[in-house]
Amino acid sequence: MNGSAISYSLRELVERFGGEIVGDPEVRVSSVATLENAGPETIAFLANLRYLRLLAATQAAAVIVAPAQRDVTQKPCILHEQPYLCFARVSALLSPPRQVEPGIHASAAVHPEACVDAGAEIGAYAVVARGAHVGRGSIIGPGTTLGENARVGSDCRLHAQVAVYEGCMLGDRVIVHSGVVIGADGFGIAFEGDHWIKVPQVGRVRIGDDVEIGANTTIDRGAIDDTVVEDGVKLDNQIQIAHNVHIGAHTAIAACTGIAGSVHIGRYCRIGGAVGIAGHVSITDHVEVSGHTSITKSIDKPGIYSGVYPFEPNREWRRNAVHVRHLAEIVRRVAALEDGLAQLARSRS
């Protein structure tokens, strides 16, 4: 909730973010709200017509709607081709993050050989190890740990209890939520006789600019080469990213997805919740994967991919999976056979 007294008129919002005003352009708003819970001086939005019934009763001072919904309400409106995008920008304007309070908390442990910019904030009980770097305007939250030679760029926000292991690198304007672990060892083990041998994980994690990482997500360091998350990637909560994964710029991945080692995901992909991606596959740019889908082989064409299949003994699953892959062809062949039998029956009658 925005606790400040700042407010903007609809005219000022349109000047910043575009759109068209219907109604009084001097109506002022100071916070955002849902249609259902809006009050005076709030602005809401309608992007899905299933919520149209809530619009009649909303107490919002103004609403953001698509041009096609120009006449659905008598309230002042901002007409925008992408109402939710406009709402997001307005929300960010009205609910800015708190300002950085430069300095190092008395209880923090910062190694003398660490480099912390004078404009950075280091929270209570945070640890910044030898050789670590924290850029200007960044906040290292309470209890967060930066390992040796870890690097955090400028204007980053690392919330409480984040762990960034040694040598890992974060770009500028990265947001990392609580419980995230960046750079833990990948699951590298080799079986010898009757026991497992650990394979040293000597790579790093490299994260680009403008990345957001949700709570309790884990990103393993590379076994030899680095695990890479490119610019603008958005990761939800509780995602597992294994060693040597490469995620292309501006890809978004929803919660509880598991990505096995050495997977390469392209740019501008959208991965739904609880997706499983098998190791060593590649997914090209502009691919959308529906929730709960299992990706077991590479995808080389953009598009939407879906698939939920009940489990069964592996040998049967493999046999049936082959048939499912050709199901459309089988259906066409059965239909042709049925048509031929029908014609044969008619010719004999």
Catalytic residues: 243
CA separation for the pair 246, 138 (Å, rounded): 25
Give 144's Cβ-side CA count (13 Å radius). 28
Alpha helices by DSSP H, listed for the chain, are 10-17, 52-55, 83-94, 314-325, 327-348
**Tokens encoding 295:** 């990706």
Q: How far is CA 298 from the centre of its chain?
A: 21
Closest alpha carbon to 64 in 97, 93, 105, 96: 93
Buried b (16+ CB within 10 A) or exposed e, 329-346: eeeeeeeeeeeeeeeeee
Determine if residue 118 is left, alpha or beta; phi over 0 gives left, psi from -120 to 50 gives alpha, anything else beta. Answer: alpha
Three-state secondary structure call for residue 68: helix
The distance from CA 218 to its chain's CA centroid, rounded to whole angstroms, is: 13
Residue of 61, 56, 57, 59 lying closest to 26 (CA atoms)? 61
Helix locations, 66-115, DSSP H: 83-94
In the numeric block, the tokens 């992408």 are attached to 82
In 167-260, at which residue ranges do the beta strands (DSSP E only) sit? 169-170, 175-176, 181-184, 189-192, 195-198, 205-207, 212-213, 218-220, 227-229, 234-235, 240-241, 246-247, 252-253, 258-259
In angstroms, rounded to a whole number, what is the distance separating the alpha carbons of residues 56 and 213?
37
Cβ 27 vs Cβ 12: under 8 Å: no
Say whether 34 sits in a helix, a strand or coil. Answer: coil
183 neighbors 145 (Cβ within 8 angstroms): no
